[in-house]
Amino acid sequence: EPEVTQTPSHQVTQMGQEVILRCVPISNHLYFYWYRQILGQKVEFLVSFYNNEISEKSEIFDDQFSVERPDGSNFTLKIRSTKLEDSAMYFCASRVRGESYEQYFGPGTRLTVT
Amino acid sequence: DAKTTQPPSMDCAEGRAANLPCNHSTISGNEYVYWYRQIHSQGPQYIIHGLKNNETNEMASLIITEDRKSSTLILPHATLRDTAVYYCIVETSYDKVIFGPGTSLSVIP
């Protein structure tokens, strides 16, 4: 069964460093998403991406964040200058085009900013 | 934000049916009811969705009341691996899933 994959599973970085989190969505999916979950809190929407542009973004997704689909398979989230409060699990999700809105999530990348 | 109300926690004996309720009294006519779950530290997992009719798949059944103001997710034979937080979500937007606090289901041996 096809699934969303994410790399790395765990990323440790120092405050102020740039990080890139990578995702490979399900191959025939056209909508892509990033969510985050701070430890002990709920899953929060960050950004949605379709047709090579951002569809919607949350207040969390400020100028420090960017997304890119550099080729036909990868979808990346970049944080330019990490802060301690960026420490969280980051989940990528994707959805097939059509009437159904269900999203399929990856296993997540745990980002630890020290 | 989430337009649903769920109990914060529930217990279920292993092998028994788990019935998870959800109230969505302000649901509008074109809004679907979706259920996701999140097993500890894993990514959320889509379970099932429905509009008006009851739905069943290999994971669960979804019963929606005739007035669509509430629904019940049924796991017919709960196992320990079904221990998770279950989210009932009403949405029309394809752009995001808004997760509320959900119901923490504990399946007890």
- Could you report the per-residue pLDDT of B39-52, keeping only the tens digit for each? 998 999 999 999 99
- Residue contact A91–B44, C-beta within 8 A: yes
pLDDT of residue A55: 93
Least CB–CB distance from A103: residue in B42, B97, B102: B97
Distance from CA of A14 to the nearest CA of B (A): 23
Which run of H or E residues covers position A114? none
Helices (H), B41-98: none
Q: Which residues of A touch B32 (CB under 8 A)?
A: 101
Using CB atoms and an 8 Å cut-off, which of residues 18-37 of chain A contact chain B?
31, 33, 35
pLDDT for A92 equals 98
User: Cβ of B43 under 8 Å from any chain A Cβ?
Assistant: yes
Distances (CA, A) of A14 to A11, A17, A38, A113: 10, 6, 17, 5
Burial class (CB in 10 A: 0-12, 13-18, 19+), B91: middle
pLDDT of residue B94: 64
- What residue in B sits closest to A32 (Cα-Cα)? B95
Whether A102 has its CB under 8 Å from any CB of chain B: the answer is yes
Question: Best of B94, B99, B104 to disrupt the A interface by mutation (most A CBs within 10 Å)?
Answer: B94
Q: Do A56 and B43 touch (CB under 8 A)?
A: no
User: A32-56 pLDDT, tens per residue?
Assistant: 999 999 999 999 999 999 999 999 9
What is the distance in angstroms between the Cα of A53 and the nearest Cα belonging to chain B? 12
Cis before A8? omega within 30: yes
Q: Considering only CB atoms, which chain A residues are within 8 Å of B91?
A: 101
Q: Which residues of B touch A33 (CB under 8 A)?
A: 96-97
Residues above pLDDT 70, as percent of chain A: 99
Listed in order, strand segments (DSSP E) in B1-109 are 9-13, 18-23, 32-38, 45-50, 55-56, 61-64, 70-75, 84-91, 103-108
CB contacts of A105 in chain B (<8 Å) are 43-46
How high is the pLDDT of residue B92? 63
Q: What is the pLDDT of residues A71-83, one digit of tens each?
A: 878 999 999 999 9
Q: Are the beta carbons of B76 and B107 closer than 8 angstroms?
A: no
Output the pLDDT for position A97: 76
pLDDT in tens, B84-103: 999 999 876 667 888 989 99
The more confident residue out of A30 and B95 is: A30
Please determine, for residue A99, whether its predicted confidence score (pLDDT) is greater than 70: no
pLDDT of residue A15: 98
